[in-house]
Amino acid sequence: MKPTEIVIEELNNSTISEFLQQNEEILSGQIPIILQFESIDGSGFQLLVSLKKLYQSTGSAFHISSSKQTLDQIRLLGLEMSMEEMK
Amino acid sequence: MKLQNDQINLFLDEASELIESMEKTLLILDENPKNKTAIHDFFRGMHTLKGSSSMFGYPHLSDFAHHFESIYDLIRNDELDLNKTILTASFSSIDHFRILLSDAALQDIHHQKEHEARVKELNSILKVSSVIEKKETSLFDEDDEPTESTWHLNLILKQDFYSKEIDVLPVLESLQSLGTCSFVINDSEVPEFNEFYDAFDCKISWDIILVIDATETTIREQFIFVDEEIELEIIKLSSRNVLDNSYLVNFIEAKKEASKGLQPFEFIQLHEETKNKKAEDIHALETEPDSEEDDHSASKNVETMSSIRVHVQKLDTLLSLVSELVTAQARLNVFIDTSSNNDLQEVAEDIEKITRRLRENAFSISMVPLSTMETRFQRLVRDISSNQHKKVQLISSGLDTELEKSLIERLTPPLLHVFRNAVDHGIETPEIRKAKGKPEVGTILINALYSGAHVMVEISDDGNGIDLEKVKQKAISKGFFKADAAVSENEILDILFKPGFSTSETITDVSGRGVGMDVVRTALNQMRGDATIESKAGEGTKISLRLPLTLSILDGLLVSSANQKFIIPLQFLDKCYEIPNFTRNNAKDDILIIEGEQIPYIDLRDLLEDSTNRPIIPSLVMIRFQQTKVGILIDHIIGEHQAVVKSLGTLFRKVQSISGATILGDGEIALILDVNKIITEYVTLTNLKKEVLI
Amino acid sequence: MSALSSSNSYLTCKLDKELFAIPVEQVIEIIEVSVITKIPQTPVFIRGVTNLRGNILPVIETRTKFAMDKIKDTIDTCIVVLSVVVENDEIQVGIVVDQVLEVANIEPNQIKPKPNIGRKYSNDYIIGIAQVGEEFILVLDVNRVFSNDEIINLAELSTEELTVS
């Protein structure tokens, strides 16, 4: 199944509710997704953590595509997941 | 699904046993904290408990056991001394294990708080101890010259963190600029997506392993701007960089994957295990605790009996069926007696013999030795004597004496009460004992033995005994005796069991004993037993508890009145008489003259509200209860009968005079008289009458 | 939890002029009236206990319990052994009935609600009144009837009253 791509400029607290409203299917964790964003802040990080948990439990694929800096940040902060640097 | 329940029940049983044996080991360590074998035993027990509780879904229990294991690991490696503080914490933790077994998810708020307190206690023990290196100094030198050291940080973002529009990521990044950081995230609290309604509700925490060239103060300074919105706990793991240990590095990576945080204890333990080892040795180390020193087990039983675990319900069913068999066999006998077929009689006799043996055997299965309670006794004596700063040793003998399990359970509260009294009021403080020329350590002796169809449990102490004169004076002032009455020593001691007496507030300065002794006697009476007391002022006191071996079988006298059959328990029986010239004289009090004595009596026919003609020569059964003698007037005495007691059931629980029933050989039901209640009611009635007359 | 029969089957019995129904799931067996031992100091509607294969079975004088006159037992009189829940315990109880009739099928929609006569307790004992053919049958909630200590005036709830109104 081709993964669904979701693009968000910045993953932060204000984009979250939008995200949740628009992506019900995603929120079931059954469909593989690629989450694309430029940068991320604290509450966005929690969203990411929660999504990772969800996808882990359903076994579906969950990728992140972001800027190198953000990916480093995510990795360094102990969140292990499949990541891809945005071109 | 039922199978799963059985497995969990099995785990619960085994875990309880394990905890009990660990408690026993702790008692040994209490006496001798240097006992290596006991320390290893305890460690091993903890290890097993940790593993199995994790398997069966008791994560808090497993976690807690894990912390403990670390502490005792340090102790067994001589890196930590087993002192009084740790011992006391260990005892409290044993109690906590029991709580964790019953409330696995810590749903009860009190349990949660208790858990937090216990974990805090364990943490503080570890902080004070030398954590990794022997020459380690703890947090006390945090403001000294910094060297590159390894730290554990537990960072919890408070719930409203995000709503304050703070971003934690930059803070954590700046931490990285100080030194090498490994972040292990803990997402256990982060909710599932369908519950993820409040993005601002912060639920992430981190465990961070930090290697830096700084003091704790410096580390804390990094978080100064978010100080109010976080909870930060810092533990120094080592004064040097331990990340040269590849096992630890791998461990951290694994923990990151799991994203459930990293406990400092696991880290420490792993370091301990691996710091000097190579890869191949790791497995050996892990299996080591299970195989070591089996032969020198400190708490090993001398006799190893092979046994199997049986569910109580199965036992109850077995006993029930055996009872039915006994009844059916008795009915068979009734028919056989009237038959003239010899062959049939022979077979019937065989069946009778086998049935009797089967019954004895079945009942003996539900018999359990008193020694199963020994740990509880020891623990209680230790706790109370410790609280009161007294030194007491508990010696036991005859605890292999067996009692019906349900009886042991019912015996335990009054028994513990007697122990409590003995330590509390009986045994003096070490100073007083020394002054009296007694050994500083007081002794309580518990002795159990068979006595006819009963079991005697005697608890004696070498304390200050009971001052008979003082008791007598108090009794007189309370109206129990007249001032000039001649009372025997036994009668004075017996007063201590009277409710009115022992609930007196001034009891402690009278005899040092007696608070609640009436409760003990009542409990024993309800088990068809009794409690008595002996004492010698200055030397000690002995409380004797008598119990029947089993409550299911009663030895009684079978009688009949108004064509109904009754059983009067033999334990209360004094004598039986025929009353040839009986006439009911309503004008007098119900008193008969028997052998020159005026004996009050109760007419069973009154109880039955039967006014049919009684036989010309009725009989009187004299019963004795405590110090009271009362007669029960009946029609005929049939004979002695061993009755299998059956409860009447919930519908009849308000019936006072009957305590149960039994089924006779011919199928008829005989009611068992509750002698205790009948006499009490009678005494109350006569007292009332006296009051009315006055 | 519904006190109705899960299989819509009820044992119908007769007491005086009344017919009543008990869910079969709660009926264990029906036995003859044999020797009943009286127990002193018990309420009047307890006839006593009897030996049921080595177990003590309480026997309830149902007529008295329902405030009817007690009569002598006849050939048809028997004891229905019921399984009743009293204070979370399941116990067996025997009730004396004049006659046992048959097992009848009663659908839930055949059971009309009991008449509200203003007495707050009595109504609880009866689930409702069913009409089977020409007859009206009182459907009993046995757990409530036989686990309390009161005498119930069944006459107040009798079908005669129903037909009158």
Residue of A42, A51, A78 lying closest to B184 (CB–CB): A78
Which fold does the domain B312-366 belong to in CATH?
Answer: Helix Hairpins (1.10.287)
Q: Which residue does chain A place closest to B262, by CA atoms? A: A78
Identify the weakest region by mean pLDDT among B190-199, B388-397, C18-27.
B190-199
pLDDT at B195: 57
In chain B, which residues have their Cβ closer than 8 Å to the Cβ of C46? 651-652
Provide the 3-class DSSP secondary structure of residue C37: strand
Mean pLDDT of B312-319: 81
Burial class (CB in 10 A: 0-12, 13-18, 19+), B178: middle
Domain B553-693 has CATH 3.20.20.70: no
Q: Is the pLDDT of residue B141 over 70?
A: no
Residue of A29, A42, A49 lying closest to B169 (CB–CB): A42
- Domain at C9-158: CATH architecture: Beta Barrel (2.40)
> Smallest CA–CA separation between B12 and chain A, in Å?
29
pLDDT-derived band of residue B361, with 50, 70 and 90 as boundaries? confident
ipTM of the complex: 0.86
The answer to whether residues B81 and B324 touch, using CB atoms and an 8 Å cutoff, is: no
pLDDT at B147: 65
Subunits next to B (3 or more Cβ pairs <8 Å) are A, C
pLDDT at C123: 54
Q: Is the pLDDT of residue C129 over 90?
A: no
Check contact A-C (3+ Cβ pairs < 8 Å).
no
pLDDT-derived band of residue B617, with 50, 70 and 90 as boundaries? confident
In chain B, which residues have their Cβ closer than 8 Å to the Cβ of C39? 648, 652, 655, 658, 671
In chain C, which residues have their Cβ closer than 8 Å to the Cβ of B603? none
pLDDT at B594: 74
Helix (H) or strand (E) holding B461: strand B454-461
* C88 close contact with B: CB closer than 8 A: no
Mean pLDDT of B666-689: 78
The answer to whether residues B527 and B547 touch, using CB atoms and an 8 Å cutoff, is: yes
DSSP conformation letters of B570-620: GGGEEEEEE-TT----SSS-SEEEETTEEEEEEEHHHHHT--SPPPSS-EE
Residue pairs between chains B and C whose CB atoms are closer than 8 Å: 66
In chain C, which residues have their Cβ closer than 8 Å to the Cβ of B661? 37, 49, 56
Tens digits of residue pLDDT in B453-467: 778 899 999 888 888
Q: Is the pLDDT of residue A21 over 70?
A: no
Q: Which residue does chain B place closest to A82, by CA atoms? A: B257
Residue of A29, A46, A73 lying closest to B199 (CB–CB): A46
Q: Is the pLDDT of residue B137 over 50?
A: no
In chain A, which residues have their Cβ closer than 8 Å to the Cβ of B172? 77
Cβ contact B648–C51 (<8 Å): no
pLDDT-derived band of residue C152, with 50, 70 and 90 as boundaries? low
Mean pLDDT of B59-76: 86
Tens digits of residue pLDDT in A38-81: 888 777 888 888 888 888 778 788 888 888 888 888 887 878 77
pLDDT-derived band of residue B356, with 50, 70 and 90 as boundaries? confident
Domains of chain A: 4-85 (3.30.750.24)
Q: Which two tokens stand for residue C84?
A: 């009743």
> Smallest CA–CA separation between C107 and chain B, in Å?
32
Chain CA centroid to CA B266, Å: 33
Which fold does the domain B2-132 belong to in CATH?
Answer: Four Helix Bundle (Hemerythrin (Met), subunit A) (1.20.120)
Q: Which residue does chain B place closest to A18, by CA atoms? A: B199
Tens digits of residue pLDDT in B10-36: 788 888 888 988 999 999 898 888 888
DSSP conformation letters of B366-427: TEEEGGGGHHHHHHHHHHHHHHTT--EEEEEE-TT-EEEHHHHHHHHHHHHHHHHHIIIIIS
pLDDT-derived band of residue C160, with 50, 70 and 90 as boundaries? very low
Subunits next to C (3 or more Cβ pairs <8 Å) are B
pLDDT at B139: 35
Cα–Cα dist B33/B72, whole Å: 12
Cβ contact A78–B183 (<8 Å): yes
pLDDT at C78: 94
pLDDT-derived band of residue B246, with 50, 70 and 90 as boundaries? confident
Residue of C40, C54, C93 lying closest to B663 (CB–CB): C54
Residue pairs between chains A and B whose CB atoms are closer than 8 Å: 78
A83 residue type, one letter: M
- Cα-based distances in Å from C48 to A5, C43, C59: 80, 10, 5
Q: Is the pLDDT of residue B633 over 50?
A: yes
Helices (DSSP H) in chain A: which residue ranges?
Answer: 13-22, 42-58, 68-76
Q: Which residue does chain C place closest to B563, by CA atoms? A: C37
- Of B174, B160, B285, which Cα lies nearest the Cα of B229? B160
Q: Which two tokens stand for residue B196?
A: 């993820």
Mean pLDDT of B539-567: 87
Q: Which residue does chain C place closest to B662, by CA atoms? A: C56
> Smallest CA–CA separation between B360 and chain C, in Å?
19
Q: Is the pLDDT of residue B47 over 90?
A: no
Provide the 3-class DSSP secondary structure of residue B205: strand
Degrees (nearest 5) of the Cα angle B589, B595, B599? 25
Q: Is the pLDDT of residue B509 over 50?
A: no
Q: Which residue does chain B place closest to C92, by CA atoms? A: B649
> Smallest CA–CA separation between B490 and chain C, in Å?
37
Identify the weakest region by mean pLDDT among B117-126, B299-308, C80-89.
B299-308
Name the range with the highest mean pLDDT among B529-538, B550-559, B582-591, C20-29.
C20-29
Average pLDDT, chain C: 82
Cα–Cα dist B684/B268, whole Å: 71
Identify the weakest region by mean pLDDT among B630-639, C98-107, C149-158.
C149-158
pLDDT at B84: 83
Mean pLDDT of B322-338: 78
pLDDT at B70: 84
Q: Is the pLDDT of residue B288 over 50?
A: no
Beta bridge pairs of residue C99: C14
Strands B148-157 and B205-213: antiparallel
Cα–Cα dist B158/B200, whole Å: 11
The answer to whether residues B463 and B513 touch, using CB atoms and an 8 Å cutoff, is: no
Cα–Cα dist B514/B246, whole Å: 66
Q: Is the pLDDT of residue B67 over 90?
A: no
Mean pLDDT of C108-128: 68
Q: Is the pLDDT of residue B437 over 50?
A: yes
CATH code of B149-288, in short, is 3.30.70.260
Q: Which two tokens stand for residue A75?
A: 């990795």
Q: Is the pLDDT of residue B243 over 70?
A: yes
pLDDT at B409: 84
Q: Is the pLDDT of residue B162 over 80?
A: no
Mean pLDDT of B401-419: 85
Average pLDDT, chain B: 78
Helices (DSSP H) in B393-537: which residue ranges?
Answer: 405-421, 430-435, 468-477, 489-495, 499-502, 517-526
Q: Which residue does chain C place closest to B325, by CA atoms? A: C54
pLDDT-derived band of residue B224, with 50, 70 and 90 as boundaries? confident
Cβ contact B648–C49 (<8 Å): yes
The answer to whether residues B344 and B357 touch, using CB atoms and an 8 Å cutoff, is: no
The answer to whether residues B457 and B370 touch, using CB atoms and an 8 Å cutoff, is: yes
- What is the residue extent of each domain of chain B? 2-132, 149-288, 312-366, 369-548, 553-693
Name the range with the highest mean pLDDT among A59-68, B146-155, B546-555, C97-106.
C97-106
CATH H superfamily, domain B369-548: Histidine kinase-like ATPase, C-terminal domain (3.30.565.10)
Cβ contact A54–B169 (<8 Å): no
Residue of B194, B204, B256 lying closest to A49 (CB–CB): B204
